[in-house]
Amino acid sequence: MLIMIKPNVDEAQVAAIKSCVEDLGLRAIESRIRRQLAIAAIGDQDVAPNGLIESLPGVEHVLPIHKPYKLASREFHPDNRVVSVRHIPIGGDAIQVIAGPCSVETPEQMIAAAAGAMAAGASLLRGGAFKPRTSPYSFQGMEENGLKYLVDAARPYGMPVVTELMDPRDIDLFLKYGVDVIQIGTRNMQNFRLLKEVGQLQVPVILKRGLSATIKEWLMAAEYIAAQGNLNIILAERGVRSFEPAYRNMLDVSAIPYLKRETHLPVIADPSHAGGAAWMVPALSLAAIAAGADGLMIECHPNPAQAWSDGEQALTPQELHALTRQVAAVAQASGRAYGQPLIDLPRAS
């Protein structure tokens, strides 16, 4: 439920309302509904005796949150949530691009990847150090060294880094290397222990849609993170498994406007894992931005033919550079801005 607080109520009264909510075993989280202070009481609502909350001094009225996902719903937070990743706002007016290779491989590869992503107009650098591979015999990631190569490559450009966490036992390592955004991959969208653990941090989380998850299941997974206190959640549509084998996954473009209406959380798209082929990435990227996505996560490798994973879907830095110009044009046509100044590549002499 949403407890709407009367205007000009002092802090002590707000604290008393919160502690009453907490004494009932519910979680009390502040929000603003059209500038009015509200406290969301989250948990098993049946524990509140009829009329108790309404009778507290300072309470104007109580509204139910109808959706099963409470903190993730627009009812809880009508304005768009902007998740700040260091100096970069995700979910605001500007479109942000996260780019980098599927896997972190070597220091040299990451230095080239960071330079390419930066020159192309990406604002965050991605790279997987712990890789969820279908086969146990495939390359599993560079693990701790991978985190180091990723962070070292991004530092000279001041770029925040995004990397996937598969196991709560690695959280301390992620914090030690200063990972800026924790990615929860499609295969772990409903790994509830993992979701609860990242919910206890304040580090922003990219929550990818499960391989065949419904939007409701996806938002309930986001709710697991939010219910622990971490509302810095970015949803990533990365294509769902469909009946169509011609491409890797089906980018659910419809999910983007649907989510933007249903939740205040930022929504980005990953056209690389959706199409599974580099040639499809530009069209899918533009479709996602036109549909209202707040950003894109694009795989980009300095030498896709030599990539240790997902090379067939990786763009070259030059291809990414050409694409970001188109993304900026579609963003502008949709009343949005592009997150970074776009710099022309030096002409080849």
- The nearer residue to Mn ion, 117 or 226, going by C-beta atoms, is 117
Shortest Å distance, C-beta 6 to Mn ion: 51
Count of residues touching ligand PEP (by CB under 6 A): 9
Shortest Å distance, C-beta 241 to ligand PEP: 11
| Among 70, 208, 248, 321, contact with ligand PEP (rule: CB under 6 A) | 208
3-class secondary structure per residue, the chain: CEEEECCCCCHHHHHHHHHHHHHCCCEEEEEEECCEEEEEEECCHHHCCCCCCCCCCCEEEEECCCCCCCCCECCCCCCCCCEEECCEEECCCEEEEEEECCECCCHHHHHHHHHHHHHHCCCEEECECCCCCCCCCCCCCCHHHHHHHHHHHHHHHCCCEEEECCCHHHHHHHHHCCCCEEEECHHHCCCHHHHHHHHCCCCCEEEECCCCCCHHHHHHHHHHHHHCCCCCEEEEECCECCCCCCCCCECCCCHHHHHHHHECCCEEECHHHHHCCHHHHHHHHHHHHHCCCCEEEEEECCCHHHCCCCHHHCECHHHHHHHHHHHHHHHHHCCCEECCCCCCCCCCC
| Among 31, 109, 186, 263, contact with ligand PEP (rule: CB under 6 A) | 186
102 binds ligand PEP (CB under 6 A): yes
273 binds ligand PEP (CB under 6 A): yes
- The nearer residue to Mn ion, 223 or 310, going by C-beta atoms, is 310
- The nearer residue to Mn ion, 170 or 310, going by C-beta atoms, is 310
Residue 315 sits at φ, ψ, to 5 deg, of -85, 155
Task: Give, as ranges, the residues between 76 and 115 that touch Mn ion (CB under 5 A).
Answer: 102
70 binds ligand PEP (CB under 6 A): no
- The nearer residue to ligand PEP, 39 or 117, going by C-beta atoms, is 117
* Among Mn ion, ligand PEP, none, partner that 208 touches (CB below 5 to 8 angstroms by kind): ligand PEP
Shortest Å distance, C-beta 26 to Mn ion: 40
Q: Which stretch binds Mn ion (CB under 5 A): 26-34, 240-248, 304-312, 327-335?
A: 304-312
310 binds Mn ion (CB under 5 A): yes
248 binds ligand PEP (CB under 6 A): no
Shortest Å distance, C-beta 206 to ligand PEP: 9
Shortest Å distance, C-beta 103 to Mn ion: 7
128 binds ligand PEP (CB under 6 A): yes
Task: Catalog residues that contact ligand PEP under the rule CB under 6 A.
Answer: 102, 128, 132, 185-186, 208, 238, 270, 273
